[in-house]
């Protein structure tokens, strides 16, 4: 091979390593839609060139210029000294101006710090309550604050639906979590660090 020969550029990824199947389907349908291309920018940090006007051109640009997206796993077992962490599942419906809607979901850990946890436990004991009341209080905290305090990677998509709707619609976000997990983690924390409180619940 000539020393002056130029090596052909290599693909950095496959398009399905950057976008999920539902979003790829959307790219195939409307590759030049400005709002869809804005989502490409959000996902990749790069805006496709204006001459990428077909899906195949856009696909080549992604695979030569973008890198595989990493999706960190949510932390499910935080250090006990830091309190407890409860795995929360988030879901919402996203509406776009390209007349599409899609259900999105993700997970993150909601952290209850040691000081707050001990305060909730002591309040329950002082009021003559028990573990059920502590679980109820933590559940209320998660319901009220999970969307503000967590940062779920909403990378799991359902099927895109294409219909007429108000593009200002934001959908209703929902969260789910396990009360059994709250109970088991509260008990484990107390038994390991404050067994005297565990006995009073």
What is the distance between the alpha carbons of residues 40 and 63, in angstroms, rounded to a whole number? 13
Highest mean pLDDT among 76-90, 150-164, 184-198 belongs to 184-198
DSSP string, 42-68: HHHSSPPPTT--SHHHHHHHHHHH--P
**What's the pLDDT score for residue 102?**
61
What is the distance between the alpha carbons of residues 184 and 111, in angstroms, rounded to a whole number? 15
Using DSSP, state whether 6 is helix, strand or coil. Answer: coil
Q: 1 falls in which pLDDT band (50, 70, 90)?
A: very low
**What's the pLDDT score for residue 174?**
85
What is the distance between the alpha carbons of residues 112 and 3, in angstroms, rounded to a whole number? 61
In which region does residue 83 sit, left (phi positive, over 0), alpha (psi from -120 to 50) or beta (all else)?
A: left
Percentage of the residues of the chain whose pLDDT score is greater than 90:
34
Beta bridge partners of 101: 95, 161
Nearest to 200 by CA among 141, 125, 143: 125
Beta bridge partners of 111: 85
Q: Which residue has the tokens 């051109």?
A: 57
Nearest to 67 by CA among 44, 91, 38, 50: 44
* Lowest pLDDT segment from 25-29, 38-42, 58-62, 159-163: 159-163
> Any idea where the domains of the chain sit in the sequence?
15-65, 80-200
Give yes or no for residue 103 having a pLDDT over 80: no
* Lowest pLDDT segment from 1-15, 40-54, 70-84, 142-156: 70-84
**What's the sign of the alpha-carbon dihedral 18, 23, 29, 30?**
negative
Q: 78 falls in which pLDDT band (50, 70, 90)?
A: very low
**What's the pLDDT score for residue 178?**
92
What are the phi and psi torsion angles at 51 (to 5°)? -85, 0
What is the distance between the alpha carbons of residues 112 and 87, in angstroms, rounded to a whole number? 11
Summarised one tens digit per residue, pLDDT across range 112-148 is 999 999 999 999 999 999 999 999 999 999 999 998 8
* Count, residues in the chain: 201
Whether the full predicted model's pTM is greater than 0.75, yes or no, is no
């Amino acid at each position: 091979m000539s020393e002056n020969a130029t090596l052909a550029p290599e693909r950095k990824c496959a398009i399905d390593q950057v976008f999920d199947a539902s979003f790829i389907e959307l790219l195939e349908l409307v590759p030049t839609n400005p709002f869809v291309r804005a989502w490409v920018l959000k996902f990749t940090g790069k805006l496709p060139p204006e001459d990428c006007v077909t899906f195949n051109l856009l696909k080549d640009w992604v695979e030569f210029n973008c890198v595989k997206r990493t999706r960190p796993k949510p932390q499910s077992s935080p250090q006990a000294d830091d309190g407890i962490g409860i795995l929360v599942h988030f879901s919402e419906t996203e509406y776009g101006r390209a007349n599409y809607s899609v259900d999105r979901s993700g997970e993150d850990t909601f952290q209850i710090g040691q000081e707050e946890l001990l305060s909730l436990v002591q309040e329950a004991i002082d009021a003559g309550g028990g573990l059920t009341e502590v679980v109820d209080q933590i559940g209320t905290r998660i319901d009220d604050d999970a969307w503000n305090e967590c940062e779920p990677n909403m990378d799991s998509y359902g099927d895109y639906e294409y219909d007429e709707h108000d593009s200002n619609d934001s959908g209703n976000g929902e969260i789910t979590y396990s009360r059994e997990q709250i109970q088991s983690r509260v008990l484990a924390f107390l038994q390991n660090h404050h067994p005297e409180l565990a006995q009073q619940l």
